[in-house]
Structure 1
């Protein structure tokens, strides 16, 4: 009987890279610990739909324990990594103390980057987590509610002005969807304002929207956005963001609702590895996604900086999935005393939706836009969702929204938490209780 202990693989992050690596190690003679601060895997490409009330959180997220319930070699740990000691091969966890490893995969993703202006954070939230999506949804829906109760025309106009910073896929999708909400979903629901008068401004410092797409599709996307009523500003950077306005290329725009979709920075965990980082904080890895000088540590997903054919591998979901599966193969190879071939990213193309029956698709040279691209985008995103229930629910919700223009996840929880009564109860509960 073999009494040799099984190698222990620790995977940090339950996103695309971490989860795909975990599942690719199913059946391997290993012990796997999957560590994440959240208990769920999130399908981030549709996160903007939660932020704009088109889908609910369970539609695009699933508990990690449920996903991995049949994989007996995995233990899921709800915890946060606070330190990495590569010499001792241990991790420090906020709740669970120390955790040793034989092989380590760090795939903790990315966070928001404000290009040195972290003071903008409270006024311009980014979109990376479900908490972010809930906060943005609340902010956007409350803007219409407060405009309905506002008698001053200037303040009302500011409440009905929405600025999206950054015209990558997330920014474009947010701007197009928000324009549809104002012009169709909320139409005839208010008595003192006309939601169709809302301004949706998409600001991009670069020369065009969707810069990662071919120029022809970028131009098509801009035309589709403008048909929806989005004001597209390119070639001018945001200079200031405050609670009541933004400064865009020297122009002051009064607004109470700004969403940040302009940049990302690597997870802070990358700095704990003690390895070379690029300007965005991503870890510069070897061709096999291993850490330089440490064959037992791998980095994958948005946290990994690796180039291929002279171009960086993009921080997109397909790349993260491929990295995760590759690391699983590399670990198997190293345990068997073999060397894995270098990682090779297969780029199947890009796609982004702008709004109802409007999208752009680039499939490695096959380029199209409009209605056909929109249907392709829908089919692809439904197919890649995790679980039959999620696919079915999303499909039903999208069909309902298509025929009715309605978005059913429009509940605002505690719309006035900062009222005088709430503050008094929070600060002096004993006085509030007695009157």
Structure 2
């Protein structure tokens, strides 16, 4: 049987492996981590609502029942398309007959990579922990600060980017300060913390209809979030964020303004689009390459109207399941690969307690408490492990009843109390 190699164990890569699992087709799944990460809930790790183990599951455990799937923990250095080999950074070369690239995306700072050290993004567990530590540590240091100006700086959090990531992060931090931390300090009032959401575009949530975006804005403002739309960030450094020539002193800055596809295009010697995505045909095969496929955030896949499909988990998951089943039929029965058709199950964002928005397309929309319940149900179902579903459900129920958050751990030494 032909050997299928999958690079990336995100939603797309894992779905492809599952669709091929249990067959006679040998499959190798390569990832630089040993776990599958549920990225849509990563912001809840950053805001102490969940622990990393609640949203990450070892890849080997997920695929343990399937003897035809081999898992390799390694980092890809490049692809030799002539020899059909994937080269790892440790020197190993893995030969493939069919190659699936599902390496996802990374954050982009639009040419200001130096900002990353001051404003981490939210793409990994390490970054989520760094944000959680910065937020919680700032309140601890504000409790000790004697200077009111320094205290205000420590209690100012700036979130850059008005997409779903920025909106969910800003709302969750505001709830953390105003509810979970409200009674825990003696010399400061966490409810007075400033949470500022900055968006360069004219409004929040540009991918959503105006009515839903307006509802989300009003919900954030009720939580005390200050929204600065139509304002571009000019500089981020240790002192804070500079917008329109004015410095906003802040101890915690979070980046959620943009993403770029992984380096897969350079591995194949292809010209990518502005977001780094690889053009693919209707059957998800890479244009100009033989026996290579791309999906998820890595792929530039167009819908019926000629528009790129969004970088959502449901897109990658549907593509992975489709491609895995298509490859299985092709390799075992010689069936041609059919075109991929995306079925939109709705785009969602949670704003805060009892507040969320859902856009199902074609004018079908939902907001408020019903959307919040649906958002919670969908995300629990999408978790890959039953134990995770139980843990997350219980955590959310406890948090809903008590307003408490149990993952408030600071794992790094205290930082200086004075701004540089």
Q: Is TM more than 0.5 here?
A: yes
1:194-233 correspondence runs (5 A): 194-233=189-228
Match of 2:284 among 289, 297, 301: 289
SS in 2 for 1:111: strand
Matched, 1:319 2:285: no
Alpha-carbon deviations, 1:284-319, whole Å to 9, x = none?
112211112323100111110121112110000000
* CA contact 1:275–1:284 (8 Å) conserved in 2: no
Q: Are 1:355 and 2:352 matched, yes or no?
A: yes
TM-score with structure 1 setting the length: 0.93
Residue 380 of structure 1, CA deviation: 1.1
The residue aligned with 2:327 is 331
- Paired residues of 2:137 and 2:414 also in contact (CA < 8 A): no
Indicate the residue corresponding to 1:427 in structure 2.
Answer: none
Task: Name which of 393, 403, 406 aligns with 2:391.
Answer: 393
What stretches of structure 2 of length at least 5 have no aligned partner?
Answer: none
Larger radius of gyration: 1
Distance 2:66 2:356 in 1: 38
Aligned with residue 128 of structure 1, among 123, 134, 155? 123
After superposition, give the CA deviation of every residue in 1:167-203 in whole Å (9 maximum; x if it has no partner): 1111111100100111111112111111111000000
Give the corresponding residue for 1:370. 368
Counterpart-to-counterpart distance in 2, 1:297 and 1:417: 48
Structure 1 residues 245-300: Cα deviation after superposition (integer angstroms, max 9, x where no partner):
11123332111110000000111133111123001111111221111232310011
Secondary structure at the aligned position of 1:290 is classed as coil
Alignment of 1:415-430 (within 5 A): 415-416=413-414
1:333 to partner: Cα distance: 4.4
2-structure distance, mates of 1:334, 1:69 = 25
On the 8 A contact 1:183/1:195 being kept in 2, the answer is yes
* Whole-angstrom distance in 2 between the partners of 1:41 and 1:387: 11
Alpha-carbon distance between aligned partners in 2 of 1:249 and 1:355, rounded to the nearest angstrom? 29
Deviations 1:97-154 (A, max 9, x none): 1110000001111001001111101011000111111111111111111111111111
Aligned-residue Cα RMSD (Å) equals 1.4
Deviation of the 1:222 alpha carbon: 0.3
Query: Is 1:414 matched up with 2:412?
Result: yes
* Aligned-pair CA distance for 1:91: 1.0
How many Å apart are 1:325 and its aligned residue? 1.2
Equivalent residues in 2 for 1:27-426, closer than 5 Å? 27-95=22-90, 97-308=92-303, 309-335=305-331, 336-364=333-361, 365-416=363-414
Indicate if the aligned counterparts of 2:265 and 2:271 stay in contact, CA closer than 8 A: no
* Structure 1 runs (4+) greater than 6 angstroms displaced: none
Once residues 392 and 270 of structure 1 are traced to their aligned partners in structure 2, the CA distance between those partners, rounded to angstroms, is 39
Offset of residue 327 of structure 1: 1.7
Paired residue total: 414
Contact 1:266 1:303 in 2 (8 A): yes
Q: Could you tell me how far apart the structure 2 residues matched to 1:229 and 1:50 are?
A: 21
Aligned counterparts of 1:239 and 1:314: Cα–Cα separation in 2 = 27
Give the number of the structure with larger relative contact order, counting CA–CA contacts within 8 Å between residues 6 or more apart.
2
Instruction: Check whether the contact 1:165–1:259 (CA below 8 A) recurs between aligned residues.
Output: yes
Cα shift readout 1:52-76 (whole Å, capped 9, x = no counterpart): 0000111111100000000110010
Say which SS state the counterpart of residue 103 (structure 2) adopts.
coil
Runs of 5+ unmatched residues, structure 1: 1-5, 420-435
Deviations 1:353-391 (A, max 9, x none): 111111111122321211111111111111111111111
